[in-house]
Amino acid sequence: MTTESVTTAGTRADEAGVATTPVSHAHELTVVEVVDETDDAVSIALAVPDHLVSRFRYHPGQFLTIKIPTDRPGGAARCYSLSSSPHFENDLIVTVKRTPGGYASNWLCDNARPGLSLTVMTPSGNFTPKSLDGDLLLVGAGSGITPLISIAKSALVGGTATVYLLYANRDRRSTIFGTELHDMVTEFPTRFTVEHWFESDQGLPTAEGLMRSLELFSAYDAYLCGPAPFMEAARSALHGIGLPDAHVHVERYRSLSGDPFADVIIPSDTSAETVSATVELAGRRIELDWPRDTKLLDVLLSKGYDAPFSCREGECSACACTVRSGEVSMLKNDTLVDADLSLGLTLACQSVPVSESVEIAFDQ
Ligand code: FES
């Protein structure tokens, strides 16, 4: 581990005091392929140039934040889960389903063509299995399949897990990746099972109905993604079959109200009192003066540190970190649950210091 000090000029300095260039999370990527998945969903493949390969490494289940061209004040940005697998696919693939009346999804479905350049943030998110060797229960509906198919493909190719997927859709025609899932079952018949739930035949999924489907999997690690009512039913079902909360991982749909691509500017004439902070980030130990009125992520980004983030709104947990000592408070938290808080997790994008000194580690 090396030690860094921070200059007051918005750049960072190494031990020799040499200023280094601030790290940008946003990059231009080019669309190389667009595939129609259903009547209202497309997969968009983005090529990663050689010099950005290390910046765009990702884990199955993570997402990209994409800037959508618009004249709207405040811009438009949306998070889309990666449906590709980092284990065998070179391009980054996001799958976008039209939201009725939604600007971003319709813009992408209407305008994504090979050659289009998009501004994209490096991958984020904690909806990713710690191991691809433990058995996985994947429960999704509609476009909630996107992170789940990335996890499934990765576990089948890069791990030894047995994977059970319950996938709910309106009907067979609206099922994204229907053919690909069928091919995966054919290739991995003893390790991968897909149970389709078609509302046209079975009605809306209920907690009781899902319990009947999932009762054999109470020892699996569960990953859930889909619309809110479906998630509620699925969580009740998993609770009903006795699957501990610590083994249930949930990915929510996000709609960003702010612009995570906007520059972070901290007034240099701030008179706010500071506390001393020690931050462990990517193997480095950073000593900071942390103003009491400034969020930790803003302090780090303004000084050029490569801290993880996506929404900057307390909704995605991409910036989650652990408070090792001292106390912070979060201005907003729409993502960490009690189990996370009891482990000392906090959101860097929403944390301001409370105690005189704080020690924090980005270890998630
Ligand atoms: S960046 Fe999304 S919660 Fe902090």
Q: Where in the chain is the domain with CATH 2.40.30.10?
A: 26-121
Q: Which of 126, 312, 331, 340 to mutate to test the pocket of ligand 1 (most atoms within 8 A of CB)?
A: 312
Ligand 1 pocket list (CB less than 6 A)? 309-312, 314-319, 335, 347, 349
Residue type at 334? D
- The helix (H) or strand (E) run that includes residue 154 is helix 145-158
Nearest CA to ligand 1 atom 3: 314
Backbone angles phi, psi at 81, to 5 degrees: -65, 145
Q: Where in the chain is the domain with CATH 3.10.20.30?
A: 265-361
DSSP state of 131: -
- CA dihedral sign of residues 216, 222, 225, 230: positive
Task: Please say whether the beta carbons of 124 and 55 come within 8 A.
Answer: no
pLDDT greater than 80 at residue 75: no
pLDDT greater than 50 at residue 8: no
pLDDT in tens, 291-323: 999 999 999 998 888 898 888 889 888 899 999
pLDDT greater than 60 at residue 2: no
Q: Where in the chain is the domain with CATH 3.40.50.80?
A: 136-251
Rounded (5°) CA angle 63-66-67 = 160
Task: Please say whether the beta carbons of 96 and 161 come within 8 A.
Answer: no
From CA 7, how far away is CA 353, in angstroms rounded? 20
Q: Which of 79, 126, 295, 317 to mutate to test the pocket of ligand 1 (most atoms within 8 A of CB)?
A: 317
Atom of ligand 1 nearest to the CA of 335: 3
pLDDT in tens, 203-221: 999 999 999 999 999 999 9
Task: Please say whether the beta carbons of 149 and 177 come within 8 A.
Answer: yes
The rounded Å distance from CA 253 to ligand 1 centre is 14
Query: CB-hemisphere CA count at 13 Å for 107?
Result: 14
Q: Which of 252, 300, 319, 332 to mutate to test the pocket of ligand 1 (most atoms within 8 A of CB)?
A: 319
Please give the average per-residue pLDDT across 78-86, as a whole number.
96
Reading the block at residue 361, the tokens are: 């580690």
- The helix (H) or strand (E) run that includes residue 212 is helix 207-214
Considering only CA atoms, which of 79, 65, 83, 72 is closest in space to residue 29? 65
71: β partners: none
DSSP state of 52: G
pLDDT greater than 90 at residue 70: no
What architecture is domain 265-361?
Roll (3.10)
The rounded Å distance from CA 257 to ligand 1 centre is 13
pLDDT greater than 70 at residue 273: yes
41-47 and 92-97: which strand pairing? antiparallel
Mean pLDDT in the chain? 89
From CA 13, how far away is CA 225, in angstroms rounded? 41
The rounded Å distance from CA 319 to ligand 1 centre is 5
Reading the block at residue 308, the tokens are: 């993880």
Q: How confident is the model at residue 45 (pLDDT cuts 50, 70, 90)?
A: very high
The count of residues in the chain is: 364
Task: Select from 2.40.30.330, 2.40.30.10, 3.30.70.1150, 2.40.128.20 the CATH code of 26-121.
Answer: 2.40.30.10
Atom of ligand 1 nearest to the CA of 316: 2
From CA 26, how far away is CA 180, in angstroms rounded? 31
136-141 and 221-225: which strand pairing? parallel
pLDDT greater than 50 at residue 19: no
Atom of ligand 1 nearest to the CA of 334: 3
From CA 84, how far away is CA 326, in angstroms rounded? 40
Assigned CATH for 136-251: 3.40.50.80
Q: How confident is the model at residue 81 (pLDDT cuts 50, 70, 90)?
A: very high
DSSP state of 313: S
